[in-house]
């Protein structure tokens, strides 16, 4: 549990000093209009918030992969999916 220190884009954040790729979430890339909307909504939801993140023990580039919940217990990724900003990542 730590404070969000940066929102990189819709599915990548930094909590404390740990960069995290949100598991099972697929957002459009930054630089696209859909990606910018997802990033903007992510910032509205979590910038400066304290999140609880469960890391999966695997990495994606420079990020840990995990699931993070908002202070009220809602899954951050599921909120972005439900609101239509991102989709569920599928292999």
50: domain CATH number? 2.40.50.90
- Integer CA distances (angstroms), 15 to 38, 54, 87, 88, in order: 18, 12, 22, 21
Mean of the per-residue pLDDT values of the chain: 92
- For the cut 90, the answer to whether the pLDDT of residue 89 exceeds it is no
Would you put residue 10 in left (φ > 0), alpha (ψ -120 to 50) or beta? alpha
Average the pLDDT over 76-86 and give the result: 96
**pLDDT 10s digits, 22-53:** 998 999 988 999 999 999 999 999 988 899 99
Count the domains in the chain: 1
Domain that holds residue 48: 2-88
At 91, the pLDDT band (50, 70, 90 cuts) reads low
CB 83 within 8 A of CB 34: no
């Amino acid at each position: 549990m730590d404070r969000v220190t940066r929102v990189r884009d819709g599915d990548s954040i930094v909590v404390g000093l740990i960069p995290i790729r949100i598991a099972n979430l697929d957002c459009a890339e930054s630089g696209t209009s859909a990606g910018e909307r997802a990033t903007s909504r992510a910032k509205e939801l979590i910038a400066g918030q304290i999140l609880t993140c469960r890391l999966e023990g695997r990495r994606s580039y420079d990020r840990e992969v995990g699931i993070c919940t908002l202070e009220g217990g809602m899954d951050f990724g599921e909120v972005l999916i439900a609101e239509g900003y991102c989709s569920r990542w599928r292999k």
